[in-house]
Amino acid sequence: MSTIIAENELPTDLTIEQAVEAAYSVELGEVADRLARGLPTLIECDKELTPWLYMNIRGRLKTAGWKMAYLDGRPRADEPPVEAAAIGLTGAMIRQLVDNVRGAVEKKVLVLPHLDLLTTSQGGLTSEAREVVVLLYENPEAVWLGFKDPSFPLPKVIENLFPHRTSLLGVARPRLHKLVTQREARKFGRPFNPWSLYKHVSGVNAVRLRRLLGTLDGEDYPADPSKAYRQLRQATLVGGLEVPAVDLEKDIGGYSRVKTRLSREILDVLKIKDTETDADRVKKLEDLLPRGVIFWGPPGTGKTMFAKAMATSIGAAVTVVSGPELKSRWVGESEENLRQIFHRARQSAPAIIVFDEIDSFASARGMYTGSGVEHSMVNQLLTEMDGFRSEELVFVVGTTNFVEALDPALLRPGRFEFHLLVPYPEDADRRTIIEIYNAKMGLMMSEAAIDFAVRRTADFVEGAAAGSRYTGDHLNALCRALARIRLRDGRKDESTPADVERALTEYIEIPQLTPREERVVAVHEAGHAIVALYSPHSPPIERITIRGDSAGALGYVRYQDREHKFVITRNELLDTIAVLMGGREAEQLLLDDLSIGSGEDLKRATQIAHGLIDELGMGRQTGAVRFNADDKSTRRPELSPEQLAALDREVREMLEAGRARAAAILTEHRAELELLRDMLLERKTIEARQLGELLKT
């Protein structure tokens, strides 16, 4: 079956009554049949659709001899306006209920078009409704037809009145061509493909759709029908939703693997679907799409940005919802918040709902520490996701820093089945991100400045966010700081590596050392560096500094990432022990004294030695045995005193071997040690390139 419709198969003109019949004839026929058999029925639909559905059903029932009473709170013909205003709409509606329920109700359908007037936004009964809800059940012969607004939940006492329910949200795709006239179809080019149109109007009811199509302007049979689609897109955005403008390639730097996977698994499938004209093929492609997506990774890596770029690629509206904002202390309100979000998204399809910090309410069962509303919220979320028609282009994206905390039931296939890691940016990623901001902010960074910024952001962040690696957000902050520096200084020339360093450290509170303290720190850090340079399994040095940082370190040696990130060998760890001992041994050699600054180094070296011997079985004398208890860092309680003594002895011997090796390297290369110390005292910071030039001399 083809998705293409010939123009002469479309109606030449169409009234709203005809549109309603064409869109919902099957469902309305079923509703009328139920009512004629005395079965109360509830219709869920948009407010503007209610009177048109009522008129259609009334016409169907009239031939069967049924009458209908429309209980909408309309004042009586002989009622003074003052009196009508005094009792209000709800009061008048309740009075109509009393008039029609009490007494015989034969062959009459009682219509409740405004059930939301009897309910609160949390799904409870209003004070007036509580007094008369008994009327709804007073006459067992009454046949009810109710209309429910999708954005309002119904209390059980009203919901139970209707054993049969019908949902009329949007228009079924196979019937869409019956709602488009020949004149309107010409605005979408030639040939007319209603399946392509459907993704822009899948959540729009027949009445609203007719009004929207009637406002289209522009030329007939355009080569590019994007103008008509843009008009529809703007008209279908509800609740302040907008289509973002984030280009996956131009606005997001790096992350080639993330972009490739996102494109292959979702965006490319959608592009192929949009070019298909075979209906069966389109349905098969839609079944391939994962509607639930999890973007996970560290904070600040751009997870929400990727969701917005995905939306831009498919012309979808985005609503970003923070998990904590959804929660409410009122019973049922959190679930109602979710219902409202999904309803707006379906009306504005194509759409993407982004649940930021989804772990805040969708954690694994047994991990909740709040009010327990999380269980209901997860159930409501899954219910809403299951309610999508396969042809509706609505995606649900969850972002989280703790994917391991999410409930496994949420991550199974059919729900949030597509999981995409957005990690810390690698060197190439950071370079591309910096280049994008350099162009956008007019920073005029030289190649040397960009190279320096990439190297400088390879490790952990300094300042208040110490302990985190650099992310896209940190790089954005760096570039904005550089832009402010250039603005304050009135700069028009190139930005240099010194400018980048200033932007990174200008306002970081660092320890102010005396000349004597600086000398001790310079000796200590030079000791680490020299031992690292002459340890074959130690990673290359990135920078050495005695400027300190806000975390309390008076100086540090920063290393480049290891070539092999996932396999660590015994020799690499033994080299690490020797390097850690280097600062202490340099102080002993050049100062004939020791500072307490080597305490943390000694602690880390001891932990590595214990790990090698107690956990990894790499002791030369104790052998290939694990001596620690399972999942614990403490030794097994059944070990004998002799075994414990042997383990401690081997730990001490390993540490002593590392210390002796560091001392030997420093003694042999004392001249380089002293040269590096003096250069640190002069320059405060030495980068990798400068270190290489220094040691060549």
Residue 202 has pLDDT above 80, yes or no: yes
User: Which of residues 309 and 638 earns the better pLDDT score?
Assistant: 309
Poorest-confidence range of 166-180, 336-350, 435-449?
Answer: 336-350
Both tokens of 140, joined, read 């067992």
Mean pLDDT across the stretch 13-35?
94
pLDDT of residue 468: 79
CATH architecture for the domain at 515-696 = Up-down Bundle (1.20)
Q: Which of helix, strand or coil describes residue 302?
A: coil
Both tokens of 550, joined, read 């806000």
Domain ranges of the chain: 40-162, 256-421, 427-505, 515-696
Mean pLDDT across the stretch 449-465?
81
> Are the C-beta atoms of residues 547 and 603 closer than 8 Å to each other?
no
CATH of domain 256-421: 3.40.50.300
pLDDT of residue 224: 87
pLDDT of residue 207: 94
Q: What is the per-residue pLDDT across 280-323, written as a single tens digit (0 to 9) for each?
A: 888 888 888 888 899 999 998 999 999 999 999 988 889 888 86
Mean pLDDT across the stretch 604-609?
93
Position 76 confidence tier, pLDDT thresholds 50, 70, 90: low
Position 85 confidence tier, pLDDT thresholds 50, 70, 90: low
Mean pLDDT across the stretch 388-397?
83
The yes-or-no answer on residue 525 being catalytic is yes
Residue 84 has pLDDT above 50, yes or no: no
Crossing angle, helix 206-213 and helix 16-36, to 10 degrees? Answer: 170
Beta bridge partners of 545: 556, 685
Poorest-confidence range of 89-93, 466-470, 538-542?
Answer: 89-93
Options 1.10.8, 3.30.420, 1.10.10, 1.10.3210; CATH of 427-505: 1.10.8
Poorest-confidence range of 137-146, 279-288, 361-370, 493-502?
Answer: 361-370
Q: Exposed/middle/buried for 273, CB within 10 Å: 0-12, 13-18, 19+? A: buried
Residue 212 has pLDDT above 50, yes or no: yes
Mean pLDDT across the stretch 248-273?
92
Counting residues of the chain whose pLDDT is more than 90, the rounded percentage is 40
Q: Provide the whole-model pTM.
A: 0.77
Q: What is the per-residue pLDDT across 39-51, written as a single tens digit (0 to 9) for each?
A: 999 999 999 999 9
Poorest-confidence range of 72-81, 256-265, 669-678?
Answer: 72-81
Mean residue pLDDT of the chain comes to 85
Q: Phi and psi dihedrals of 446, rounded to 5? A: -70, 165
Poorest-confidence range of 58-62, 200-204, 517-521, 692-696?
Answer: 692-696
pLDDT of residue 211: 93
Mean pLDDT across the stretch 16-24?
95
Burial 228-257 (b: 16+ CB within 10 A, else e): bbebbbebbbbeebebbebebeebbbbbee
Residue 29 has pLDDT above 50, yes or no: yes
pLDDT of residue 550: 46
User: Helices (H) and strands (E) in the chain — how many of each?
Assistant: 27, 13
Mean pLDDT across the stretch 454-477?
80
Given the residues 184, 525, 585, 687, the one annotated as active site: 525
pLDDT of residue 341: 85
pLDDT of residue 160: 87
